[in-house]
Each structure stands twice: as C-alpha cells, then as structure tokens.
A and B are shown apart, each in its own frame.
Chain A
Amino acid sequence: MNITASELKTWLLQYGQLLIEQTEYLTKLDSAIGDADHGVNMQRGATAMRQTLTETTKTAPSELLEEVAEAVLEGIGGAAGPLYASLFFGMAGAVDGETSVTPQQLGDALQAGVDSLAARGRAERGDKTMFDAAGPAIEAFRQTLDAGDDLNTAIEAAESAANLGRDETAPMQARKGRASYLGPRSVGHIDPGATSVALLFEALTELSGTENS
C-alpha cells in the first residue's frame, strides 16, 4: 500500500526515459523562445539521474531523492538544474526519516518540492514557467486524494492538470528566465520548462497499481 524508495526509483527512471525520448521536442520548443538548450540539458540530466538511480544503495526515500537532486543539479546545469534540484531537495526534506510513504505523504512531499521550486525561481502562476504546470498538477493530486479517491485517480488528475497547465503557457508572456527577454514575442509558444515538468507527472502513472499490488 505504501510507496518505498524502489517505487520512487521506478517513477524517476520512467521520467528519465521520457526526457530522453522528448529531447528533440524540448529543443524545438526552447529554440522558439529560449537558447535551444533545454532538451540537451534535460537529456544530460536524465542520463546523470538514471546512472545515480541504477548505482544507488539508498533505501530511504529522502536519501534517494537527495542523491537525485545532486545528480540533476550539475547534470542539467543552466537555470533548470538548480530548479529541479530544489524540487527534489524539497521533496527529500518532507519525507525525512520515513522508510515508505502513503499517497497523502507523497502529495505532501510533491507539494513541498513544488513550493521549493517556486521559491527558488521566484515564480508566480502566469509567469510562463515550470510552475504553471507543476502548480496545478500538485493541487489536482492532493484534491483528488482529499476527496477520498485512490492513488490511481489522483495520478490521472495530476497528469491531465499538468498537461493542461503546460498548454496554457502558450498564450502567456514570459516574465521569468531567458524567454522574458523576448517580451511579447514569447507569446504563442508552449514553455519548454512547463513541458519537461509535465513529463514528471506523466511518469507518475508508473506508480498506478502500486496500491493494488
């Protein structure tokens, strides 16, 4: 019923897989409004993260998440590196001392991670950033659980909220990061950061069925 380090590993390995598959797409998005490096950076980060995940001996969720944070920090590099590292460090802090977590605790941890991401980037909703996908996703996840639904339903809700949030960045004008230098010209393009973070929630579907097993 509970989620252990091993399930988190599965989730993040899948996330890495998705990032590597989507490298070209992310590059294309970033070349429209950024410096065309998000795809390559995320791919490099994914490789570093997957290597950490295959070699790690950690069994506590918080320790595993800390290792992932360290791997993506320099692995991704650029501005996204510290942002993703903040997300995972934030999650790690929330599950400190636990050997496994309930879906509610996972929700709390994701919330802590997203909070820490937003704080690091000083991002608000509507700034056309990663937070525009991550914010709605974690809200949907927790609201679904609070309503009494199971983990599978919560994951589905988070995934579709993240995708919706991602798509809604298109009409926004960027107010943070490199894209903000473009001003009104950033309008009309999906934000690459929001896209890569939506994949993180898409990868959560790997955990579907955990509860039933």
Chain B
Amino acid sequence: MIGIVIVSHSLALAEAAHDFASTMAPNSSLKVEIAAGDAQGELGTSATKIASAIKRAASGDGVWVVVDLGSALLNSEMAVDLAGASNYEIVVSASSLVEGLTAAMATAARGASLTEVELEACRASNLQQLSLPETPQPDVWSGWDDAAALETTARIVDKNGLHARPSARLAQAVASFDAQVRIRNSSRSGPFVDASSITNLMTLGASAGDVMTIESCGRQAQETLDQLRDLLSDGTNPAESNPEQELIGVSSGVAVGPVVRANRSRTDWMHATYEALSVSEEQDRFNAALEAVKEELLHLAALTRATTGDSEALIIDSARNILDDFQLLNPVRNEIQTGTSALQAWVVEVSSLLARVESLPEPYQRQRATDIRDLRDRVAAELAGVPASLEDLKSGIIVAAELSAADVAQLDPKSCLGIATTHGSRTSHASILARSLSIPAIVGVSAETIEALIGRTVLLDASASEIIVDPTDEQIEQRTLVNESNSLTEHEDQAASEQKVASHPVTTSDGLAISVGANVALPDQAVEARAAGADSVGLLRTEFMFANWAEAPSADQHYQAYADIANKLDGRPLTIRTFDSANDKPISFLGGNLSEGPRGLQLSLAYPRVLGDQLSAIARLSFETPVRLLFPYVTNAREITEVKNLLVKVAKTHTSSSVLDSLKLGAMIEAPGAVLDIKAIAEEVDFLSIGTNDLSSEMFGLDRRDPGAYSTLSAFDPAVLRLLKIVATEREELPISVCGELANEQDAVPLLIGLGIDQLSVRPSKVSLVKDEVTRWAKSEATDLATKALELRNGEQVRDLVQQVRANRGLEAILEREKIVEETD
C-alpha cells in the first residue's frame, strides 16, 4: 500500500482535509503524514519537514504527495531532490488538495498503485471544475454547416453512464475522423457540446438509458456517426439485464432462522395520517423532531466512536451537523410559516437536496445521499409519529432493501441472527458495523428474492455468500462445521500475521519497557487487539456491550461477556472498567441521559445492585484469568473505599484469600479535581489510568460531542501535560497508563514517555504504529522533549515542537547519509 503526505501552509487546513478525506477510507491502514508550516512553525511550508514526512510515510509501493498552493509545490519538489535516490517512487500530485486527497485515500485504501492513485486524484480534481455551471464553453461552431449535418441517436448502455474512460474513447474516435461532431443529451434536453473534448463530454451528465443526439458534418460525417453510435451502444460495463444480482457476504459466519422483515419501511411516514396544526405549533413540532433525531444520532456516534473509531463516528457527527445547517433549515421554516405542514415542508426541501446530490457524477459523491435520505426519513418519521428504528423485531434473520449504519447500530445482537439486504457493499458503514458486531450479513439480495423469503426458514452463510431456503439438518450441520473450521484457520492466519507485527513487548531505544495495550468495547475487537500485537487490553469499555439493554445485565451475563473476551486474549491481561455513563453515552438502567449530576464511579455507587453484579462477575473471572479492575471518573479517595467494601461483600471467595489479593484495582483520572487528590487516591489503588479526553475537555470547558470545538490538539496543551506530570510525580511508584485519544497520536508518544507514563492503551489499529514510535525514542531524549513542551503556550506549539525535533532528526539523517556517500566516494 502506498503512503500519503499532505503538504499545507497550515496544520489546521491539512488536518481538516485529512479528517474529511478519511471518511472515504475508514479503518484503512493507510499511512498518512502531514508536513505543515514553515521552519519557524508559521504559515508556510518547509522542504526539510516535507522530506521527513515522506520518509515517515514511505513504503515500497511509493509515496503520493499532495500540496495546497504556491511554495508547497516548490518545497515538495525540493524535498524529493533532498531525499535523493531511494528504493521507492515519489509522486508530487498535480491534483488539488481536497478533491485529490479524497479520491486518493479512497483509491489507495484498496491497495491501488501509485500511478492509479494519481490518475484518480487528478480525475476527481477535474470533475470538480467541470461541475461548475460557469465552465466556459469554447465557441467551436463557427463553420458549422447545419444544412449538411447528418444526425443519429444512441442510447447509453454502460451502467456507469458516460464517465471518464468511455468519454476518452469517444473523443479519441472523433479525433481520428475528418469530421466535426457535436452531441447533446436529449433525455435531459441539454445543449450541444463539442464531442472531441473529453471535458465537454463529461458535462453531458449522460447516465445509463439516456438518449444522445449526435450530429456530424465534414468529409467522414457518416463513418464518424456509425462508429460513435456503436461505441455508445456497446458499453464495456453493460447494465445488468439479469435481475439475480450477485450475493456478497460482507461479514463471516452462518445463521439459521426465520426471515423477518425490518419493521420500518423507509416510506412508512408517507402513509401516516398527519394533521397540520397552527403555524407556531408546526414550528415547535419541527424543532422537537430535529432535537429528537439529533439526540438519537449523538448516542449512535458515541457507540461508533467506541467500536469503530473516530473517523467512523465523524460520519454520523457530520450527518447530525446537517440538521444544524441553516441553509437547509431556514427554507423549511419559511415554508412552514406560509401555512405548509412541517412534514410536507421538510420532505419537499430535503428531497430537492437529495435530487441534487444524487445527480452528482461520481458514485462516492452520491453516497452522501444515503445519509441525507436517512436524515429525511428519521425526521419525517419523528414528525409523523411512526417508529423510526428497528427495535421491536422478532428474533430471526433481518431482511430489508437497505439498512443504514444507524439501523445496524440499533439492532439487538441477541435477536438479530443475520442480515440480508438488497443494497450495500463490503465497505458500507452498515457492513463494517455488522462485522464488528459479528452478525453474518449478505448484500445484493434482489427485491424479488427478499419478498419470497419472508416467513421462510433460511440458512444464511455469509462466509460462502449463499442463502439456502428451508435447509436440511444435514446442510445446517455441514455449513456450521465448515464455518467453524474456517474461523479456526482464520485464527491461525491471524496468529501468523501476529508474528510479523510487533507482538512482543517493546522498549525505548535505551531499554525502558513501555507496555502498549488496546482499548476494546466489543468482543470482536479483542481478536483485533490480539492480532494487532497488543500486550494487553488496557481498557474494556463495558457500557457499550449493554448499551441497548433496558434492564441491567445479571452477574452471570456480565461474567459470560467478559469471559468471552478474556478467552480471545490468550492469557494477556484484561483491564475491565465498570460502567461509565456520561452525556454522550447514556445507560438507561443507570438513569438514562444525565445532563447534570454525578457520573462515572460516583453514579454507579448510587446503583449498588447494578454495580454489585458487575463487580461479582469481575471478581469471579479474576480467579481464572489475569484481570484488572478499573473505576471510571474517580473524583476522590472516598469513592474507592466505598467501592472496595462493596467488592469484598459481593465477591464469592472460594479460597481463603481475599479478592483484593488477586484483583488489581485502578482509578481513572479524568476529573481535573482528582489530580489535586492524587496522593490519597494512589494510596487506595494498585494502578492509575489517565483519560485525557475527558481531562482536557473538562479543563477547557469543551463539549466532546461538538466536533468543531473539541480536537485532540486540546490534549496536547501544556496545561494538560502539566496535570499528567503531577500525577506521574505523585503516583507513589504505581504503574500509570494513558488510554485517551492522545495516546493514539504518534506525536504524543515521546511526550507521554517523557512525562513518566509506563503504559499506553490505544485503538487496536494503532497498536503497531505506537509500538514502532516507542522504539524510536530514548527515555532521556523524551524527558528533554517533555520538559521543553511544559514551557510552551498551547497545544499547537507542543505538537510543532515534536514535529520539529523529528524533522531535524530527519535532516540529520539525510546529511549523515550524504556524509557516508562522500566518505565512500
């Protein structure tokens, strides 16, 4: 896979472009590096910074560099010169930053070559320009002889429409004849354009089925028309004539059960009776519906953030942000003001937006339509008072035309045995969630097949991409066996790749051991964590496994869930954190959404039966496998004393030893106030864990749910680092870990080591990166860096410092290499 470098005058700009483009390549292991700001850290670019970013991103498959403007290009080319001869190719892209990067990340994530990535990036940049309505059309019709012109029509057969490649073939054909040719999309009553220009052809907006009118005059007019008609009617990707689409398994596993239709039809709200009230009541209804849907998405984003990661959650956050967009909301409100019902005003306005998005030329641009349609239906269903989610499903295999990620996130994994849908792909958000929830899922099931399946019993084999109606016992037994042995092989494969990544513990370059664990929210991620080479699970967020439960789980249910995860870890330690209910991840059986009042451990202590069941399950597991117990959002030492008493009371000790001997207890330091009480807290526990997300957002009064306000940069702030320093100094020899987003940042790793942190717990996908970074620093060097960072003024300066130090090391390496070359000469 190629590496990518973003070169920008501004770090903020580069990061925003990266975040934005990341939504096109979710969960990919793409290496993307940023080189932003000049040598002084001001707006500008620096050749040495770029050279070192190229080196960091380097892979045998090459490095693709995208730049913003002006000196960024000059410095990037200079950096390529500075890098000298290497065993990988470097392309400084001709594409534009946002469009190019977005296309490049999507293309590179699927393993495309450097050339292919550059091609796609340039194509995306050009298309962006073409879709501007003001694109000037050259006047080529002088000398056009209407009387002599011949005419023909042709229907587009290529299912992707007249996109870039067929346009190029068409333009080439035109150029090979002695004739003038013009073409228009008659199905859309478009204007004539010059057929010899690829860019003009692409403005036709010609989709499969559209009829083109082609006119030609000149010596070879007839031959030209014949050839063009053949080209247009002979697409290389003809539209599917076969209604039986190809089934694609998008997760693995086998499920057997009755087929149940997902309750919510996307158009249920259309059939609901809706009685419009007064204008002001309609405005209120509209606002209430918006709020309700936003609330729902907020919950979903938190779940996604914990299960799949930040870039995934960002998709949902950005969908939620659409509901705050005045460009969309104002026309709706104005329409309601004229007496139209809220439902009608909303649906008409969003549907027109939807039509515009759906007519965008590229499939990945059109994908936005799924989000917008989902929003339209959610708000409309809320207004019409019809169910918008899939909660009340009978147990079985769920079928639907399309499920959004939101739908899948809301499924109860206990009753949903499998999923079959018409639309979707392996990379769609819904499929990703299905995989992490271990639900066997197949897409590409035709509407006819779905209708025929309802009520029948089927065997859904996602691994083999097959659905068998009314399976025999023999078939069920055989498929299940094959699947089990397959998943065993998969595990062996994973074990093999585990050998390749850093599966062994790492140390700094001067030998200080730093443990790198993984943050896990769902059982699937435990396998991922082990495969990624995590030394442990440094944080199991228990609230997500039970997020949709109306009742608190029993001690047995807790035990089963945790034992299942421990089994997947092959003896690596498992750190289980008790429920942490907060604004962005409310738990219904702990009082639901709390905007005020206690959270974390303090809240759980108010529900001693719920907490007691959880503690007794963890205690039971601790006698069988290495487990550590972690308490969230501890604010003072008294809470620990209290929870210890409860723990001793509920733990069923089978031996004479106390549970406190076998179970290590830890406190999460997330409340800034807890730092002031750290000595007393440290006396009560065996280890400390710092949650930098809450710590920094609370310090600066930022709302973590607001992607505009909160960024990881806040956690780089020297004030946050100073708090970490206090904890590290006063910890009384206790091991101390950091499990917030900050630990996932390559730039933060040396700072944390320098401040005295012993353990980092990160997203499974970041384990190998973080381990690699640990080995690149000496403890003494990290300490110097951290000491300097504490003196700076803001997070940006801190990050710049780390990057500057790294860039200098890169330059030193370049000079060192040149010196060696000189000496050998």
Contact = CB atoms under 8 A, between A and B. Distances in A.
Contacts of A85: 47, 78
A212 to B, nearest CB: 36
Contacts of B48: 73-74
Contacts of A121: 74
Given A73-B47, A74-B39, A79 B70 contact: yes
Given A73-B47, A74-B46, A77-B46, A82 B74 contact: yes
Contacts of B47: 73-74, 81-82, 85
Interface string A46-85: 0000000000000000000000000001100111011101
Nearest to B81: A89
B386 to A, nearest CB: 54
A82 B39 contact: no
A177 interface: yes
Contacts of B74: 79, 82-83, 120-121
B50 to A, nearest CB: 10
Interface residues of B, number: 14
Given A82-B75, A86-B78, A120-B77, A77 B38 contact: yes
Interface string B66-80: 000011001101100
Nearest to B69: A178
B71 A79 contact: yes
Contacts of A120: 74, 77-78
B179 to A, nearest CB: 36
Interface string B30-52: 00000000111000101110000
Residue in A73, A74, A85, A89 with the greatest tally of chain B CB atoms within 10 Å: A74
A77 B70 contact: no
A81 B71 contact: yes
A53 to B, nearest CB: 19
A82 B70 CA distance: 11
Residue in B40, B46, B71 with the greatest tally of chain A CB atoms within 10 Å: B71
A78 B78 contact: no
Contacts of B81: 89
A81 B38 CA distance: 11
A73 B50 CA distance: 13
A188 to B, nearest CB: 22
A5 B47 CA distance: 26
A62 B54 CA distance: 27
A178 B46 contact: no
A85 B48 CA distance: 12
Contacts of B44: 77-78
B320 to A, nearest CB: 36
Contacts of A82: 47, 71, 74-75, 77-78
Nearest to A80: B71
A165 B70 CA distance: 23
Residue in B44, B46, B74, B81 with the greatest tally of chain A CB atoms within 10 Å: B74
Contacts of B77: 82, 120
Interface in B431-482: none
A43 to B, nearest CB: 14
Residue in B40, B46, B48, B70 with the greatest tally of chain A CB atoms within 10 Å: B70
Nearest to A85: B78
Interface residues of A, number: 15
Contacts of B71: 77-79, 81-82
A177 B70 contact: yes
Contacts of A81: 47, 71, 75
B38 A178 contact: no
Contacts of B39: 74, 77
B78 A77 contact: no
Interface string A70-107: 00011001110111011001000000000000000000
Contacts of A78: 38, 44, 70-71
Contacts of B75: 81-82
Nearest to A37: B44
Nearest to B38: A77
Residue in A81, A85, A120 with the greatest tally of chain B CB atoms within 10 Å: A81
A89 B82 CA distance: 11
Nearest to A44: B40
A73 B38 contact: no
A83 B70 CA distance: 12
A73 B78 contact: yes
Interface string B304-340: 0000000000000000000000000000000000000
Nearest to A177: B70
Residue in B48, B77, B78 with the greatest tally of chain A CB atoms within 10 Å: B78
A61 to B, nearest CB: 16
A178 B78 contact: no
Nearest to A119: B77
A5 to B, nearest CB: 17
Interface in B66-113: 70-71, 74-75, 77-78, 81
Contacts of A86: 78
Contacts of A89: 81
A109 B77 CA distance: 21
Contacts of A74: 38-39, 46-48
Nearest to B71: A79
A86 B46 CA distance: 14
A81 B82 CA distance: 14
A110 B620 CA distance: 81
B83 to A, nearest CB: 14
Contacts of B40: 77
Nearest to B815: A70
A78 B70 CA distance: 8
Contacts of B38: 74, 77-78
Contacts of A177: 70
A73 B71 CA distance: 11
Nearest to B42: A77
Interface in A147-185: 177-178
A157 B70 CA distance: 33
Contacts of B78: 73, 82, 85-86, 120
A157 B39 CA distance: 37
Interface string A120-150: 1100000000000000000000000000000
A89 B74 CA distance: 14
B374 to A, nearest CB: 41
Interface in B6-62: 38-40, 44, 46-48
A177 B46 CA distance: 17
A177 B40 CA distance: 21
Nearest to A63: B822
Contacts of A178: 70
Residue in A73, A82, A85, A120 with the greatest tally of chain B CB atoms within 10 Å: A82
B444 to A, nearest CB: 49
Interface string B394-418: 0000000000000000000000000
A74 to B, nearest CB: 4
Nearest to B818: A66
Contacts of A77: 38-40, 44, 46, 71
A20 B70 CA distance: 25
A9 B662 CA distance: 74
Nearest to A83: B74
A74 B78 CA distance: 11
Nearest to A180: B70
A78 B69 CA distance: 11
A82 B39 CA distance: 13
A177 B48 CA distance: 21
Given A78-B44, A121-B74, 5 more contacts: A74-B47, A77-B38, A81-B47, A85-B47, A177-B70
Interface of A: 73-74, 77-79, 81-83, 85-86, 89, 120-121, 177-178
Interface of B: 38-40, 44, 46-48, 70-71, 74-75, 77-78, 81
**Pairs of residues from A and B, 3 with the lowest C-beta to C-beta distance, nearest first:** A79-B71, A74-B39, A82-B78
22 contacts: A73-B47, A73-B48, A73-B78, A74-B46, A74-B47, A77-B39, A77-B40, A78-B44, A78-B70, A78-B71, A79-B71, A79-B74, A81-B71, A81-B75, A82-B47, A82-B71, A82-B75, A85-B47, A85-B78, A86-B78, A89-B81, A120-B78
